[in-house]
Amino acid sequence: MKRALVLLFLLFSIALAQNITITYWQYEFRSKVEAINELIRRFEAQNPGIKVVHQTFPYDAFQQKVAAAIPAGQGPDVVNLYYGWAPTWVKAGYLVPLPDDWIQRLDRDFVAMAQAAKVGGKLYGVPTAVRSLALFYNKDLFRQAGIATPPKTWEEFIGIGQKLTVKQGGRFAQIGYGIAPDGQDHHLVREVLVRQFGGKPYSDDGKRVLYQNEAGLKALSFYTDWVRKHEIGVPGFFPGNNGYRDGFIAGRIAMIVDGSFAIGTIQQGARFNFGVAELPLERAGGRKANFGSFWMHGLTPLATGPKREAALKFLAFITSEETQRYWLEKVGELPASKNLIRDPKLSLHPIYGPFVLSLAYAKATPFVDEAAQRKVMVDAINRVLLQGMDPAQSLRIAAEEEQRILDQFWR
Amino acid sequence: MRLTLAQREALWAFVFLAVPLAFFLYFRILPAFQALWLSLYEWHADPAQRRFVGLEHYVRLLEDPLLRRALWNTLLYTLLGVPGQIVLGLIIALLLQRTPLGRDLFRAIYFAPYVTPAVAVAWVWSWMLSPHFGLVNELLALLGIPPQPFLQSPSQALPTVTWVVVWQNLGFQVVLFLAGLESIPRQYYEAARIDGAEGWKLFRHITWPLLNPVLVFSVVIGTIGYLQLFTQVVNLNFTDQGGPLNSTLTLALYIYQLAFLRFQLGYAAAVTVLLFALILLITLVQLRLLTRRVEV
């Protein structure tokens, strides 16, 4: 009897040792949830003995859940996060660095912007997919106004915008450009316009703000003039979250700058023909710039011992080229691998193409405190648009505020 | 040891009270003290790595311009919102009390916003207040007033948010006052009328003093509500929460942003302690100033 019990216990321990359960967390987005469920099924089939539990939370509650769960030891082993959150998460002890061979893999196989997954020289996550910005335009409105092609330069962009803006009394009925400082436009000013005008938003190590110069001032003045001088748009034209996108989908906004993540929503919603173009340039042949961003999968301090090995295996699986191909098909997000985006089928695609071409030169802002830094730029724009402040003064305030945030992080 | 009946009853009462009390202590009181402790540390997911920083976070409180703004806004919300909803609530309750017809229907109508989810309320109001498509500006245009930016203006956003909150709380306030009015004995009015009192005098000398308990309750609960204002502010400007330009930022929202968007839980805890102290102080002062014994 006793011997049987010991045997049973041994068998049980072996079974336990072979059955490692790891937990994966992401926020709720239907196609992503379905994709991960399918990927887990495939992963478990290839790796008997590892079980992956997939848990999701509404986007608004996601960081809050992570903040509370990991210190309590109840959270994920592998977690999905926006790259810009990584520094704050690392500083607060929510992520652990990946082994060194992962750094080589990232440097070798992934698009340049994925470098933003490093904090202080260590790697804290790997993306499956990446995103960039492009110009969405309403082809039907363009045709009605006799405009054949999307704008190549900002000058053309303003001209088209003016043609397609309809103002009645003090109120707009249609606008040429869906201006949205708190949408994607703060990226547009910081990463696109500043660079196109010959500047650089930050020093190479990301520790110093560099946009407080002629290029930066030109970028902010130029952008805010779209509202103040050219009247091709007005902030808050459509209320609500992502009102600029809703207004475009409703056919009341002729052009918007949005990310590749918006393709699905716009495709589903728009009852007209729309086109996508690479962002306009300062002048024909001018410097190209784009803002790249991504969600990545990181490892938390809860993944220890055998769980860590299993988690790394899972991480490798969900960031493999095979998964990236599946992800593009299923979720519609651009692959993060250099190899895959070279595929001409992608770069010539009428909708994905402009985004894919932009990936080659897109840069991810080296955020250290994304929520705070985003606000700095949104406020810099709003001080000019809503309070009529001189752009130079507004830019100076922004540069000081943001430098303080950087200094506080790096001290 | 033998207990008297009264002692035994008291004992049982405590036994029954013990369950909710334990719950309350563990989930309410204990975390409050934990926040105090947390505010003295630099936050880290691993408790062993939390660094003791003493009063550093409290020093930062003193020189944080965003905190000052949030504090000032929160006080403004309270100063506009509490009197606003009490005056409007009282007027509507007095009017409803006089209409014998359809009182229940009106009461239900006024109460409906209170039970509507704040997110839905924010959504509908942000459309109604839109400068380009909104009903409110349509009405203003009829009066010859140019379109107003409301939520999009750094100077109009705070009063506009306050209005939406007042509108939402109004139903609850009306019901409170109606209950208070019902509890005033008819005889007092009849006696006063015999003595020749009418209208304003009746209100001034009977209704108002006898409503004092309801009033005190409303002021205290209303004030606490405004000091903790969060949901409406977040949802009325979802992609620039507390904006434009921090004009609608509240203390509660600032705490949320610090803790859960910026992972500075130590500093966020310090702001929480400040908010706690503020609510405690204001409530004590209110209770002291407003509560009066009424002799009729």
Q: By CB neighbour count within 10 A (0-12 exposed, 13-18 middle, 19+ buried), where does B148 fall?
A: middle
Whether residues B126 and A239 touch (CB distance < 8 A) is answered with yes
With beta carbons under 8 A apart, name residues in chain B contacting A387. 154, 245
Whether residues A94 and B263 touch (CB distance < 8 A) is answered with yes
Tokens read off for A311:
């988690």
pLDDT score at A8? 58
> How distant is the Cα of A70 from the closest Cα of chain B, in angstroms?
7
- What digits encode the pLDDT tens for the residues A127-172? 999 999 999 999 999 999 999 999 999 999 999 999 999 998 778 9
Whether residues A169 and B44 touch (CB distance < 8 A) is answered with no
Distance (Å, whole) CA A326 – CA A316: 15
CATH of the domain at B259: 1.10.3720.10
Whether residues A170 and B146 touch (CB distance < 8 A) is answered with yes
> Which of B45, B147, B153 lies at the smallest CB-CB distance from A301?
B45
pLDDT score at A80? 97
Domains of chain A: which residue ranges? Answer: 21-131+293-363, 133-290+368-410
Within 10 angstroms of residue B153's Cβ, the number of other Cβ atoms is 19
Tell me whether residue B231 is in a domain. yes
Whether residues B243 and A182 touch (CB distance < 8 A) is answered with yes
Q: Is B240 within 8 Å of chain A by CB?
A: yes
> Which of B43, B47, B246 lies at the smallest CB-CB distance from A92?
B43
Q: Is B149 within 8 Å of chain A by CB?
A: yes
CA neighbor of A87 nearest in space, from A393, A367, A388: A367
Whether residues A236 and B47 touch (CB distance < 8 A) is answered with no
> Which one of B27, B59, B125, B263 makes the best mutation probe of the A interface by having the most chain A beta carbons within 10 Å?
B263
With beta carbons under 8 A apart, name residues in chain A contacting B132. 171-173, 234, 237
The DSSP symbol for B146 reads P
pLDDT score at B198? 84
8 Å CB contact between B225 and B236: no
Residue A70: which residues within 8 A CB-CB, separation 6 or more?
Answer: A76, A94, A300, A301, A302, B45
Residues 249-278 (B) with a CB less than 8 A from some CB of A: 257, 259-263, 265
> Which one of A66, A166, A227, A241 makes the best mutation probe of the B interface by having the most chain B beta carbons within 10 Å?
A241
CA neighbor of A40 nearest in space, from A29, A56, A26, A24: A24
> How distant is the Cα of A195 from the closest Cα of chain B, in angstroms?
25
Q: Is B154 within 8 Å of chain A by CB?
A: yes
> Which of B49, B130, B261 lies at the smallest CB-CB distance from A371?
B261
Residue A63: which residues within 8 A CB-CB, separation 6 or more?
Answer: A85, B260, B261, B263
Whether residues A236 and B149 touch (CB distance < 8 A) is answered with yes
> Which one of A174, A186, A370, A382 makes the best mutation probe of the B interface by having the most chain B beta carbons within 10 Å?
A382
> Which one of B240, B254, B264 makes the best mutation probe of the A interface by having the most chain A beta carbons within 10 Å?
B240
Averaged pLDDT for residues B16-27? 90
Distance (Å, whole) CA A252 – CA A241: 16
Tell me whether residue B2 is in a domain. no
pLDDT score at A15? 53
> How distant is the Cα of B256 from the closest Cα of chain A, in angstroms?
9
Residue A347: which residues within 8 A CB-CB, separation 6 or more?
Answer: A341, A353, A356, A357
Q: Is A121 within 8 Å of chain B by CB?
A: no
Q: By CB neighbour count within 10 A (0-12 exposed, 13-18 middle, 19+ buried), where does A330 fall?
A: middle
Whether residues A239 and B262 touch (CB distance < 8 A) is answered with no
Q: Is B43 within 8 Å of chain A by CB?
A: yes
CATH number belonging to the domain at A21-131+293-363, selected among 3.40.640.10, 3.30.390.50, 3.10.290.10, 3.40.190.10: 3.40.190.10
Whether residues B46 and A170 touch (CB distance < 8 A) is answered with no
Higher local confidence (pLDDT), A377 or B34: A377
Distance (Å, whole) CA A131 – CA A336: 9
Quick one: closest CA in A to B257, which residue?
A: A371
Q: How would you label B242-274 residue by residue, b for 16+ Cβ within 10 Å and e otherwise?
A: bbbbbbbbbbbbbbbbbbbbbbbbbbbbbbbbb
* pLDDT by position in tens, chain A (length 411): 566 665 555 555 555 556 899 999 999 998 999 999 999 999 999 999 999 999 999 998 999 999 999 999 999 999 999 999 999 999 999 999 999 999 999 999 999 999 999 999 999 999 999 999 999 999 999 999 999 999 999 999 999 999 999 998 778 999 999 999 999 999 999 999 999 999 999 999 999 999 999 999 999 999 999 999 999 999 999 998 899 999 999 999 999 999 999 999 999 999 999 999 999 999 999 999 999 999 999 999 999 999 999 999 999 999 999 999 999 989 989 999 999 999 999 999 999 999 999 999 999 999 999 999 999 999 999 999 999 999 999 999 999 999 999 999 998
DSSP for A113-126, written as a single string: GGGGGEETTEE--E
pLDDT score at B32? 84
Angle at B91 between CA B87 and CA B95, to 5 degrees: 170
Averaged pLDDT for residues B193-210? 89
- What digits encode the pLDDT tens for the residues B120-175? 999 999 999 999 999 999 999 999 998 899 999 999 999 999 999 999 999 999 99
**In residues, how long is chain B?**
296
Domain of residue B124: give its range.
70-290
Fold: same for A21-131+293-363 and A133-290+368-410: yes
* Phi, psi (rounded to 5 degrees) for A334: -70, 140
What are the helix (H) ranges across B99-134?
Answer: 103-115, 118-128
Residue A117: which residues within 8 A CB-CB, separation 6 or more?
Answer: A83, A86, A106, A123, A124, A125, A126, A127, A294, A296
* Phi, psi (rounded to 5 degrees) for A241: -65, 135
Residues 283-302 (A) with a CB less than 8 A from some CB of B: 301
- CATH number for region A133-290+368-410: 3.40.190.10
* Phi, psi (rounded to 5 degrees) for A263: -55, -50
Dihedral angle sign, alpha carbons of residues A229, A233, A239, A245: negative
> How distant is the Cα of A128 from the closest Cα of chain B, in angstroms?
23
> How distant is the Cα of A180 from the closest Cα of chain B, in angstroms?
10
Average pLDDT of chain B to the nearest whole number: 92
pLDDT score at B49? 93
pLDDT score at A170? 77
Distance (Å, whole) CA A335 – CA A348: 15
Percentage of chain A exceeding pLDDT 70: 96
Distance (Å, whole) CA A312 – CA A98: 8
Whether residues A240 and B262 touch (CB distance < 8 A) is answered with no
Distance (Å, whole) CA A293 – CA A80: 14
Distance (Å, whole) CA A342 – CA A146: 35
Q: How many domains does chain B have?
A: 1
Quick one: closest CA in B to A64, which residue?
A: B260
8 Å CB contact between A187 and A133: yes
Tokens read off for B137:
């500006």
The ipTM, to two decimals, is: 0.91
pLDDT score at A18? 65
Q: Which residue has the tokens 């503020």?
A: B278
Distance (Å, whole) CA B31 – CA B52: 19
